[in-house]
Amino acid sequence: MPTSVGYALSAAAAISLLAGCSGSGSVAPTSSNPNAVTQMVNGHVLQRSYSVLPKALQNQKPSQQIKITPDKKKKKHDVDMYVSSFSNSEISCFDVTDKSGKAEGVMTSGLINPQGESHTNGARQGLIVANTGANNVLVYKPAAESEKAECALKVARTLADPNGYPVGVSGTATDGNIYVTNIFDLVSPGLGEVRLYAPTDNNGVQIGDPNLSEDFFIAANKGDTEVCVDGFGASGAEVDCTSNGGGTWTNTGDISPSEFPGGLAFDTAGNLLVDAQNGNITEQGTGTAIACGVPGDDCVNIAVDRKTHHIDTGDATASAAYEMDWPDGSVDVTLTGTGASTISAQPIPGGP
């Protein structure tokens, strides 16, 4: 099965992890991969990466930050897309109507290896970012409609996650709940987990998923009646869903064990879209499938923009992001200069 860097686990090792055992801990990042930690699990020292990318795309060196030169001829600069860069530890701000495809600005304050993104519910939506390297999740205030404000977001809440590496977030449920996935925990037995943060709870509670040894991305439907997560289990990649608040998790079979988890999103019809980083983006209700914006590249973390009928995604191979038409898959907008190890593209406002 494909593995993430540092997830140096065979199927047998994954099974032993799932069985659980005392003696799990981590130390400083390794010199061979600064985005990995060594961890003692079941008496074995494992190197585990907290990047959601396949091994070949991990450990990319930060790219040179592109100089942002405001276009004085533009009468209005509306930021409506935020793109995370793991290696650059930044979020680029874009106006998708700008045909140049270049960023309007960059946010770096407090960010360390950001990965998955989502948005809060409500008429005015705020950005949510899995701030992996800082072991927390940042929830930003909705911005005023100006380029300066929209690319200098203020943090409204910091969701504590000191014992894990958060990589996926979903805040689209109408009840205001925010769901977070940890690719793995720092406490025994070192498995991944799903955490629920209620609107007034910045510490969260664990609600699963016992089937997975590494949890990647997560999506909650609009009514918060179903939550799904992708990741690696004992037999390889899988998608698990719960409809009872994490009481039980069921493997839906929506991704092949040989594929690499790449993201989840619910569309406006309530169907689950599943992204395989080494495959297609597939809608489970209809079976409709589209390739990455550049076939063969690595599209990761998907978002559905209900207003424009697009799928937005980052391309970790090309350091770019795409706004793709759904369901024909054509690329309508290409955003460039998004930073090394581009992980996520999140439309604001919009969302499933």
Q: What domains appear along the chain, each with residue ranges and CATH number?
A: 11-57 (no CATH), 81-347 (2.130.10.10)
**Residue 82: closest CA among 273, 299, 349:** 349
CA 86 to chain centre: 10
Query: pTM here?
Result: 0.86
Each residue's pLDDT tens digit, 160-182: 999 999 999 999 778 899 999 99
CA distance 115 to 29: 18
C-alpha torsion angle, residues 179, 177, 111, 348 (rounded to 10) = 110
CA distance 71 to 82: 19
| pLDDT over threshold 50, residue 297 | yes
Task: Take residue 260 and report the two structure tokens written for it.
Answer: 């690499």
Which phi and psi angles does 184 have, rounded to 5°?
-160, 160
| pLDDT over threshold 80, residue 131 | yes
pLDDT band at 147 (very low <50, low <70, confident <90, very high): low
Residue carrying structure tokens 């016992």 = 210
Each residue's pLDDT tens digit, 99-127: 777 888 899 999 999 999 999 886 678 89
pLDDT band at 352 (very low <50, low <70, confident <90, very high): very low
- What pLDDT was estimated at residue 32? 54
CA distance 216 to 233: 11
